[in-house]
Structure 1
């Protein structure tokens, strides 16, 4: 190889990073959002709706119906009690219909009015709103909280932070107890939990959900809405130019800039109605600037609308710089409230609701299963009769005690051996062993098709038949 073909080698110095042990590294996974409190129409509505649903969540497990907990989702016994309705595993299609209805109702509302579910009804939003209320009561306003976090640790900071987290934990435990109370008798749960007599799994469930509530509403907050919740990602597929969303009117607001309140000649200076006070950013629970356009992080809570309307009112300008409006409206076009996509979701929602109602109407409040004697198909009695043995399993799916009359069709000359009337408590299962005897002369075939009939003594319309077979010696 010649000298001219050699490749030049260049020495590259490598600098090795050595951490300084005297320097403390600062790690901040996110810039904390200090949400400013705001009053207004939308926040009043949001607070009242949250209060109603929170009260319903807290009180429903304590309601009694026919002497027992009105709503009890007993997973261990595989029975769901919902007032007068008892759902068994074979009734889970009803729960499936409920989930489908909820999904299409969400699609319909989102197409019409954006992400209002997130802003007004989502449990994550409601619980975060409550936790922020505790934070404000103990640590002060937005500016006071920011100042407190910048201060060195002192007794004042310690007791304020301590009471804040104590209230978060206490409310989280209360929330977890109520939630677990939907799946186990709530009155016993509260007594056993505070007397340390609760079962292992009940205690684990309470502390698990308490930890989740404390972490989600106290620490993660908007991270749940912007990064974890899948609804934030696919909601845009339901939006169109006629969807009402929280929107900033850039044509009216720009160019933004500060000015004196008495300055009536601001438009001649090239300024719009936005005074760039940034209150819309300060009150946003997800920390976005709505003036940058529609963003998937926006939960349509309307906090920025109330803050902006209050500022416009003080400045003497017309309200509505930020409002629930549509893209077509901002472009000066007519908003089409009734449109194909919205009508389609509505029609599917109506159809699903009708199917759900039909499922409830045709649902029988009682179930009967026939279990034959597995030891023998038949046996001959001392009288020379052919006898088949069955066990009738009757499930009372209502929450009231019922009495049923039992009979058989297809064996006119058969002798019924056993009880012909059965009383079953609400939500319970009863097994009734019976035998059918038949003269061999009356057995026309080796296998006879028969039907057991169950009829409610108090409600003649409740009648149930279940097919089975009678085996003879011939």
Structure 2
């Protein structure tokens, strides 16, 4: 108890007051990123990939199949037509399977090769590239665009800016019309829109998505990737040390610094230099404006533009390529990449299982839906013949795209009287409501509630029989 607590003299901490903020600059917009054009095998592949999916996106709504639009997602009528397949709200499991398969495909690809979806297939990236291409054609290369923006407004600058924004709006409008064409007949949409005869919701949708495309690809660009898109935030959960990502090799590149092209590659170590000449081309070509030499960053979309730019510089300097490359953390540390690993195999197995369930659901799907609704005004009634009668509404949904004739039967009684149509014809994709009554002798009813079945069947063109049995209740007393 007599031990004293040692006391240490501590010099007082000096508190630094924050500097006053210039209120006029508080809401300044971001520093604009001027992306430099780059050429190389990865860029060529990315362009081909982007153009392929753009062409597919633009062509699909115009494809005709069996006299109708091949792909039409009609939200108003709650009917999705995909070639010979027609989906209804009752087919929600198919939509769930499609989303699950897409999610695990994304997880699998990301675990293996990083954010290649963002760099090579994402619509935001592709449309941003298109907008950047128009920007270069109207305003010039990166340096010219910087000087043009620093210059006061004149006739030349006004004309260049007008041409650029006109091209952007035209691309946004065509994109929006094509997109809305997936949800309404595309042929009449184009005609009605340009003749000002389009409906309110279709017209509103076209204008809304035009503004969104123009704002996203023209103005927001990398903000969508770095601040809005959630995928950039949870990507790290799928990465491991064997994931292929765009990476800079610091062991080979450092120390950075400029040097003469005449300097032999073998003499770099003597001068304390690495392979990186600090040209900053990898930063200038990056669509999100990051420096890949600072390590893996969530803003990186794995587009490979910096890889092509750096390889071009290495080729001019007669250095080996691959200072920046698609590689793994294990390879950067001098090890080898394990392609087959538990997480990747797990994603692949789940992807195969869910794809199999999706295909099985499509193959075993019955193109007929039957729903039975009992009359709620009366439980039962006794007709003039002394029989007990129940009233129903039978709804027959033809989920195919061709007209079918259906035969209706009732099972559950040894004898019964069917009052109503027993043979109905329903057009493809139509819902037919049929009021019917079923009557039977009270002696056939041993219980207050008897389970009966409405059996609906039809014969396909190939001779196969499609049939559905739907249970219902027959009430008495």
- With the length of structure 2 as denominator, give the TM-score of the two structures: 0.91
Q: Residues 416-431 of structure 1 correspond to what in structure 2 (within 5 A)?
A: 416-431=418-433
Measure, in 2, the Cα distance between the counterparts of 1:254 and 1:239: 26
Cα deviation, residue 324, structure 1: 0.4
Q: Per the alignment, do residues 241 and 414 of structure 1 end up closer, same or farther by CA in structure 2, a change over 3 Å counting?
A: same
| 1:120-179 CA-partner distances (Å, limit 9, x unpaired) | 011110110110011011111111111111111111111110010011111111111111
Measure, in 2, the Cα distance between the counterparts of 1:310 and 1:95: 45
The question of 1:464 aligning with 2:468 is answered: yes
The answer for unaligned runs of 5 or more in structure 1 is 1-14
Query: Match for residue 454 of structure 2?
Result: 452
Alpha carbons 1:104, 1:345 under 8 Å: kept? yes
Cα deviation, residue 433, structure 1: 2.2
Query: Match for residue 112 of structure 2?
Result: 112
Measure, in 2, the Cα distance between the counterparts of 1:408 and 1:31: 74
Query: Match for residue 302 of structure 1?
Result: 304
Q: 2:339 aligns with which of 308, 323, 337?
A: 337
Alpha carbons 1:248, 1:291 under 8 Å: kept? yes
Measure, in 2, the Cα distance between the counterparts of 1:44 and 1:18: 45
SS, match of residue 405 in structure 2: strand
Q: 2:269 aligns with which of 260, 267, 282?
A: 267
Measure, in 2, the Cα distance between the counterparts of 1:156 and 1:404: 71
Query: Match for residue 4 of structure 1?
Result: none
Deviates more, 1:199-208 or 1:282-291: 199-208
Query: Match for residue 43 of structure 1?
Result: 43
Query: Match for residue 173 of structure 2?
Result: 173
Q: Per the alignment, do residues 74 and 156 of structure 1 end up closer, same or farther by CA in structure 2, a change over 3 Å counting?
A: same
Alpha carbons 1:66, 1:399 under 8 Å: kept? no
Cα deviation, residue 436, structure 1: 2.3
| 1:270-323 CA-partner distances (Å, limit 9, x unpaired) | 111111111111111011111111111110000011111111111111111111
Alpha carbons 1:105, 1:349 under 8 Å: kept? yes
Query: Match for residue 219 of structure 1?
Result: 219
Alpha carbons 2:372, 2:395 under 8 Å: kept? yes
Q: Residues 12-31 of structure 1 correspond to what in structure 2 (within 5 A)?
A: 28-31=28-31
Q: 2:394 aligns with which of 392, 395, 400?
A: 392
Measure, in 2, the Cα distance between the counterparts of 1:280 and 1:342: 30
Deviates more, 1:74-83 or 1:290-299: 74-83
Q: Per the alignment, do residues 253 and 452 of structure 1 end up closer, same or farther by CA in structure 2, a change over 3 Å counting?
A: same
Deviates more, 1:279-288 or 1:351-360: 351-360
Q: Per the alignment, do residues 346 and 168 of structure 1 end up closer, same or farther by CA in structure 2, a change over 3 Å counting?
A: same
The question of 1:122 aligning with 2:126 is answered: no
Query: Match for residue 156 of structure 2?
Result: 156
- With the length of structure 1 as denominator, give the TM-score of the two structures: 0.91
Cα deviation, residue 446, structure 1: 4.0
Q: Per the alignment, do residues 268 and 50 of structure 1 end up closer, same or farther by CA in structure 2, a change over 3 Å counting?
A: same
Q: Residues 127-142 of structure 1 correspond to what in structure 2 (within 5 A)?
A: 127-142=127-142
Measure, in 2, the Cα distance between the counterparts of 1:408 and 1:29: 72
Cα deviation, residue 26, structure 1: 9.7
The answer for unaligned runs of 5 or more in structure 2 is 1-18
Query: Match for residue 314 of structure 2?
Result: 312
SS, match of residue 135 in structure 2: helix
The question of 1:383 aligning with 2:385 is answered: yes
Cα deviation, residue 444, structure 1: 3.9
CA RMSD of aligned residues (A): 2.1
Q: Per the alignment, do residues 105 and 25 of structure 1 end up closer, same or farther by CA in structure 2, a change over 3 Å counting?
A: closer
Q: 1:370 aligns with which of 354, 369, 372?
A: 372
Query: Match for residue 10 of structure 1?
Result: none
Query: Match for residue 65 of structure 1?
Result: 65
Alpha carbons 1:66, 1:400 under 8 Å: kept? no
SS, match of residue 360 in structure 2: helix
Query: Match for residue 350 of structure 1?
Result: 352
Alpha carbons 2:459, 2:465 under 8 Å: kept? no
SS, match of residue 291 in structure 1: helix
Measure, in 2, the Cα distance between the counterparts of 1:25 and 1:233: 29
Measure, in 1, the Cα distance between the counterparts of 2:279 and 2:443: 99
Alpha carbons 1:405, 1:457 under 8 Å: kept? no
Measure, in 1, the Cα distance between the counterparts of 2:201 and 2:74: 14
Measure, in 2, the Cα distance between the counterparts of 1:357 and 1:190: 35
Cα deviation, residue 374, structure 1: 2.8
Query: Match for residue 196 of structure 2?
Result: 196
Query: Match for residue 11 of structure 1?
Result: none
